[in-house]
Structure 1
Amino acid sequence: MKGTNWFVRGLIIALCIFLAAGIGYRFIYLQPAGDLGLGVLLVLALLVVLVLSESFNAFSIGSLLSLSREVDKKKAEVSDLKTENRELRSQVISIATTVSQRQTSTNIVGLPQDLARMFTVRAAEETEVQEKQDAEQAAPEEPAPRAAVPRLDRRKLEQRAIERFLKANDLEQFPVVREAKLMAQIEVLDPVSTSSPIFDAYLNSLDSEIFVEIRVVSQYSVIFFKERLYVMLTKLSHYKALKKSNVFMALVLVTMPGEEARPSQISRLFSEFQPAIAGGLLRIVEFGFSQEDVADLYENGT
């Protein structure tokens, strides 16, 4: 390593002290005091150059300007890379979703065509959806109050609850199938029943298939829903075993303004379906709507 030339360094230090003393004398004692003329500024620049030249092996004003341009260039490149990264992630999600949906509706390697159809999830027919709505409305309800109340549009309520569920779980970017049902071929796996329940929504994320069911919480709805929930979970259990993938049902319990479910009923629901919850087949989510949230969901207005 090259030794330090203390003689040259001492001369530079002495020169710096001399220049600093001259600047201080000019700045303090000569009139007008505190004036920095062009000559003083040039001496200051020379002093800075001397100090920096001693601190670094090589010093160049041009290098500093070049470094500034390089920093601006790197910032622009980083910004472009971030934009490309966001676009690439969006494309990857879109491609993965498309591939997953095609795998759901096409043949599986090693399985006959007829058996492969059991993997398909499709939107239910309008008549099937109407039958489902009629069955839900036919369930026992609370005694009607003396004064008539506006009728709640359940389809709109389900749509709003699904939107809140997707937003809360960061699933808004995935396509959703409303009123989804398993294909009829699922009965091959279920020797007891050929019925195929209709779910309020279905989506296929990057790592799981999610079936969504919306229920309005009231005094009776939870009690009379248990049997239907059991049928739904049984079908999904067969479907999950066949697909060998992550499949679960999200049961969204919606509490309307002025209504409450008995805590014992919710606790009983958790208790009776604990095996499905522990196995990851069932996830229960609770949402509460305010009067403002549902003001436009009544057919006759509020």
Structure 2
Amino acid sequence: MAATPTVTVVSGGVGAARFLNGLLDAIDPAKVTAVVNTGDDTQLHGLSISPDLDTIIYTLADATDPERGWGLRNETWTAMGALERFEAVRPEGSAAATRWFNLGDQDLATHFYRTARLAEGASLTEVTSEIVAAWGLGLRLLPMTDERRATVVTTTTEGDVSFQDYFVRLRHSVPVTDVRFEGAAQLSDTARHAMTSAETVVIAPSNPLVSIGPIRSLDGTDDILSARRDSVVAVSPIVGGAALKGPAARMMTELGHEASVVGVARLYASIASVLIVDPADADLADAVVAEGMRCIVTPSIMSTPKIARTLADVTLAAVSTR
């Protein structure tokens, strides 16, 4: 029997979490590392919040609220509700007691711990490892960097805003004219090693522009991936011209990209040799090939654990059998 490969997954939040669930069902979790976007990270109420890291942790721990699709099961909102009393006295321009970014009472515990450990001098990589262990997970989760690298979105209505302002406060409902990444951050040494040493690298079905984009914006990431392109496989987050969750398709159109698997191929052709697409896009397989990527068609809407597991198996086989 062939040895189980080591796999590094370049990850955003929800789509990556679902893919990782299938992957951990397919292979030993100890063989899996995820390098996770932190361009979405934010500070609220003095707390350090890492939405993509936490989404993956809660999903893999089977703790996510199944109805909302985010946050924790059986969550309560007492602390956020109590902030309402301060809204009448808050000075104009103050961000104190803001409630547009809802933090559940259980979720607050994660942010309390992260914030306190960072204040003690621990790196985000170290703190994330501790939080993963506290949730009893067997894989490695690595933030892309231990430094600040913030996604800034330029909108037609409010100018430049943070990603969380765009995604949560504005409900990603306003047109976007630009996305950029601020902060002189470096790809962490552990993330760099994970992407260079794994036998297979998977680009998760995450938003190419604001989930995978921040990781690619760090010096060296694209060089690493392009140098090992034959062992890099991407899963398209676009199915039938639409994103399964979030604004990926609309953002691609607004920023001048084609909102299709062909548009995804154009973004990834220099760093990945294979693109996995759903049967809904089987008619575009030749167009993907024309962009320089091998195209594999398999169900990619992870509506059941079985589909997620099969997608993981197909994804790994895409490069391991070449």
TM-score normalised per structure 1: 0.26
Asked which structure has the greater CA Rg, the reply is 1
Greater RCO (CA < 8 Å, at least 6 residues apart): 2
Higher helix share: 1
